[in-house]
Amino acid sequence: MANTSPINPFETAKQQIDIVADLIGINDGLREVLKHPKRELTVNFPVRMDDGSYRVYTGYRVQYNMARGPTKGGIRYHPQVSLDEVRALAAWMTWKCAVVNIPYGGAKGGVICDPKHLTRGELERLTRRYASEIAPIIGPEMDIPAPDVYTDSQTMAWIMDSYSMLKGYSVPGVVTGKPISLGGSEGRGEATGRGCAYVIREAAKDAGVKVKGAAVAIQGFGNAGSVAGNILYDEQGAKIVAVSDSRGGIYKSDGLNPHAVEAHKQKTGSVVGFPGAKEISNDEVLEAKADILVPAALENQITKRNADRIQAKIVAEAANGPTLPEADAILFQKKVTVLPDILANAGGVTVSYFEWAQDIQGYFWGLDEVNSRLERTMMRSYSDVHKVAVEKKVHNRTAAYVLAIQRVVDAIKIRGIYP
C-alpha cells in the first residue's frame, strides 16, 4: 500500500543540507549545526473573542541561524501551521538571505488559526497578544518579522505598535512590510515580481533567449506574477501569451496586454473570460508554447508527470517550491534553465532589508533608488549562482544552495563556537 503520509517539510530541508554538504565536503559536526534551529519559541495565549468568550491559540517563532546577522522571516496565520513547517521555512529563509548576500539569518513564525473566521477586532487582539508573547526574542538587532500567508501590512503595523508600547518609544525597524506612513519602503509591494523579472533578464543572456518578443506564460496572476508580467511586458518587450489564477487560465498566441487582463480580473474576480482569449487549465499554462515560464502560484506544480511536456527554455520560480526534485532532474537533462525560488523570488526579502536599513538610519530613499539597488543585488546574485552552477556542473537550485550554505558555514567558522 502506498504511503499517504504527508511529506515533512523539515525532513526535506535537512536532506537538502546533506546533498550540499556531500558536494562541498562539510564535516559531520557542522552538518549537525546546520540541521538544528538556534532558537524556537512556542507560545499558548488567550484571545478575547467578540462575544466575550476566550480562546487559546498556539503560535511559534523559530530563529534558525544568526551567524550572518539578525534573523529575518515572515509570520503566517493558517490552520495547518506546524512547528516542523515553521522550522523548514526558517531554514529556507536562512539560505535565501545568504544567496542574495544580505546580512541576515533566517527565521519564521506562525499562529495556528483560520483568519477567514476571525473578525478584524479578533485578528487585532490575536496579533497584539502574539506580538507581546514573542517580544522578548524579536527586535531590530535580533529578529525582524514580516508578512506571509494571510498576514499583511496592517498585521505588521499592529506588531510594530505593540512592540513599541512595550519599549515605551517607536521602533519602526522591528518589522518590515509596514505601511509607508509607519516607515515602510517604496517599492516593497512589487519587489518580488520586479526582482524575478531582473533575474529572468540576466539568465536569458546565458540561455540564448531574447527577452524582447519572447513568449511568456505565468501560472498565478497574483501579486508576484502580475508584477513580473507587467515588467517583462513594459520594460523588456516580452509577449505575455498565457496567464492563470485559481479559477483557470487564458491563452492568446499573439499576446495579451497584462494591464488589460489585470483590469478584467479586478472587475470580474478572475482572468477567465478575458475577451479574445482561449480558456485553458492551470496545467495547460505550464505546458503552453512559451520561451519563459513563471510559476507564481502554489508549490508542487512541476512534477515528473509534466516536466517532460514543459516547452519553456527558462522557468523562473516566483512561487515557493513549485518544482519537485524529480522534475528538476528532468528539466536539467532537457537543458531548461530553472531559476530557483531562493534566487528568483528573493526580491521581496531584499527590499525588506532596504526597509530595515532605512528605518535604522531614519533616512528614506525614493522609488528609483530602491529599484536600482534591487536591480544591482539581483544581477549580482544571479551571476554568483550561475558561476557556481558552471563550475560544479550542477543545476541552478543546487548551485544556489551551495552558494548560500557555504556563506553560512564560512560565517560560523570565522566566528567560532562560543565559549
Nearest to 412 by CA among 142, 37, 67, 71: 67
CA distance 22 to 12: 16
User: Is residue 144 helix, strand or coil?
Assistant: strand
d(CA 395, CA 22): 16
Spatial distance between the Cα atoms of 414 and 419, rounded to a whole number of angstroms = 14
- Whether the Cβ atoms of residue 16 and residue 8 lie closer than 8 Å to each other: no
What is the chain's Cα-based Rg? 21
Query: Residue 157 contacts by C-beta under 8 Å, 6 or more apart in sequence?
Result: 178, 179, 182
Best CA proximity match to 98, nearest among 415, 416, 411: 411
Asked if residue 342 lies in contact with residue 99, where contact means CB atoms within 8 angstroms, the answer is: yes
Prior bond to 419 cis, omega within 30? yes
As given in the structure block, the three cell numbers for residue 84 are 516542523
Burial class of residue 191 (count of CB atoms within 10 Å of its CB; 0-12, 13-18, 19+): buried
CB 110 within 8 A of CB 60: yes
Candidate list 108, 178, 239, 265, residue with the active-site label: 108
**108 flagged as catalytic:** yes
Active site residues: 108
